[in-house]
Amino acid sequence: MTRPYRLVIWGPGDMGGRALLTALRSPEFDVVGVKVFSPHKDGRDIGELVGLAPVGVAATTSKEAILALDADCVVHTPTTPSLLRGADADVVDLLESGKNVVSAASYHNPSMTNWLSASRTPLSVLRTVADMKVTGDAFGPSLRPALTALKWGVRALDSAPARPLRPAVERLAGPVVDRAIPRRPLGSRLQAACEKGGVSLHGTGLHPGLMVEQVLLRLAGVLDEVTEVRFLEVGDLSAAPDGMWGGLESLGFGTPLGSVDSDHAIGLMQHFYFNDVLGNVGHALFGIGSDAVRVERHIYPVPARVRVRAGGTVIEPGTVGAIHMTYRGYIGDRLFMTNEECWHVGSGNAHLGPDHPRSLSGGHVITLDGSPCRVEMRNEMDDEAYSADWSAVTDISVRAMLAAVPELCAAPPGVAMPDLTPRYRLENA
């Protein structure tokens, strides 16, 4: 395929806007379309959307117009909550229209099933959603009454008089559930869409994508045997964009401590990501299929020590100032990986354990246990130099997505996974 690659940007928000700006400035890409979701952006020149001179391409809210474009690849950057509102159907349509898709929102390992997979029964999905704790307005104002109705409905179905009706309800509930909260397609459905369109699908970013699938697994190559791995991420979200998830309150910050637990929306949404990470590591290091990986999650809040105003959110002492999320991967009863996310708002509310990065601003710790030694890698922000610029996180994810475009366009049809096979070039001596 000759360059430049013809790109579509799907959702030019924080990350998609940065991807659009980078692609417009690069000779590697020709942006032929942008899918927007705000009516005031419809018809605007895509250059003007990111502060550049007009380029002669108008953004559109029309999915049909995007599907009709002649494009090599779609850079897919929707919001995470959109995964509950049918974003997967858009990706299937894009693939079947003959466009490769690289996404930051999902598809890091579609063979891993989760609580919203199409393999789950409608009632099991309803039970999970009914127990979901939601703060803020990430999912729209209509979700709270819907959740209340679901809780009463599920309780009624679980009552003794209603138990004989469950098989019939399961049959009838499927279409209803999938209209309200569409179950997510299995890897086989995405693979079929790729084959129909003759294209490929890939999910990547900072994490998942770079830190574990590239850095951690590359480090594992120095060991003869790996028994267990751990990935820890610490981050200060005080500079996160207000639009991310609908604001920090939607993530649970600034709310009463009892509002956040393992059933909070942040835990269920992040399960989509870290579930896939654990599946990737299980396959790469231990040669197991996705069906052999069991994932457990545990989320707990930490009270704020100081008052912080971040964007439109005010966090008072005693409310949620930090959130610790742990996702553990098991093969049978054997723990093989722990993925931990420790997020806080403001350095005064950092929740750091003795083995965490020493920086209040954030960082990562990778630990691999095995033989003949134990391997540990740390990267830590410089607290004095750190300017709380969230764009650094965004830029890394954008670079990972755009760097994947050439190989994705050249790949055979199907879901593309990270490949650490050594690649060599001949020295031009």
CATH of residue 46's domain is 3.40.50.720
User: Is the predicted pLDDT of residue 153 greater than 70, yes or no?
Assistant: no
Find the range with the poorest average confidence among 9-13, 49-53, 212-216, 247-251: 247-251
Over its C-alpha atoms, the chain yields an Rg (Å, rounded) of 22
Average pLDDT over residues 180-206: 95
Q: In terms of pLDDT, which residue wins out, 138 or 185?
A: 185
Confidence of residue 82 (pLDDT cuts 50, 70, 90): confident
CB 293 within 8 A of CB 237: no
CATH number of the domain encompassing residue 361: 3.30.360
49 located within any domain: yes
Tell whether 224 and 372 lie within a shared domain: yes
Identify the pLDDT of residue 156.
Answer: 65
Confidence of residue 392 (pLDDT cuts 50, 70, 90): confident
421 located within any domain: no
Strand (E) or helix (H) holding 330: strand 320-331
Residue 307 vs residues 240, 241, 323: alpha-carbon distances, Å: 17, 19, 16
Tell whether 198 and 213 lie within a shared domain: no
Tell whether 402 and 358 lie within a shared domain: no
Tell me if residue 426 falls in helix, strand or coil. Answer: coil
Tell whether 217 and 328 lie within a shared domain: yes
Q: What are phi and psi of 20, to 5 degrees?
A: -65, -45
Tell whether 274 and 169 lie within a shared domain: no
Length of the chain in terms of residues written: 429
428 located within any domain: no
Average pLDDT over residues 309-328: 94
CB 199 within 8 A of CB 307: no
Tell whether 355 and 242 lie within a shared domain: yes
Based on the structure, what is the number of domains in the chain? 3
Q: Residues of the chain with pLDDT > 90: what percent? A: 68
Q: Tell me the per-residue pLDDT of 105-115, one tens digit each, with 9 for 90 and over.
A: 899 999 999 99
Q: How many angstroms separate the CA atoms of 264 and 134, rounded?
A: 6
426 located within any domain: no
Buried b (16+ CB within 10 A) or exposed e, 217-238: bebbeebeebeebbbbbbbbbb
Tell whether 198 and 215 lie within a shared domain: no
Q: Assign residue 193 a region (left: φ > 0; alpha: ψ between -120 and 50; beta: otherwise).
A: alpha
173 located within any domain: yes
Q: In terms of pLDDT, which residue wins out, 127 or 66?
A: 66
Find the range with the poorest average confidence among 49-53, 230-234, 252-256, 383-387: 383-387
Average pLDDT over residues 81-96: 93
User: Is the predicted pLDDT of residue 176 greater than 60, yes or no?
Assistant: yes
393 located within any domain: no
Identify the pLDDT of residue 44.
Answer: 97
What does DSSP assign to residue 50? T
Tell me if residue 232 falls in helix, strand or coil. Answer: strand
Identify the pLDDT of residue 181.
Answer: 84
Identify the pLDDT of residue 179.
Answer: 82
294 located within any domain: yes
Strand (E) or helix (H) holding 371: strand 362-371
Helices and strands, number each (H, E), in the chain: 12, 14
191 located within any domain: yes
Tell whether 171 and 258 lie within a shared domain: no
Tell whether 89 and 198 lie within a shared domain: yes
Tell whether 281 and 147 lie within a shared domain: no
Q: How many angstroms separate the CA atoms of 340 and 326, rounded?
A: 4
pTM across the whole model: 0.91
User: Is the predicted pLDDT of residue 1 greater than 60, yes or no?
Assistant: no
Tell whether 220 and 310 lie within a shared domain: yes
Q: Tell me the per-residue pLDDT of 18-43, one tens digit each, with 9 for 90 and over.
A: 999 999 999 999 999 999 999 999 99
Identify the pLDDT of residue 408.
Answer: 96
Query: Considering Cα of 214, then 218, then 219, then 223, what sign does the dihedral take?
Result: positive
Domain of 152? 122-180
CB 7 within 8 A of CB 72: yes
Tell whether 49 and 28 lie within a shared domain: yes
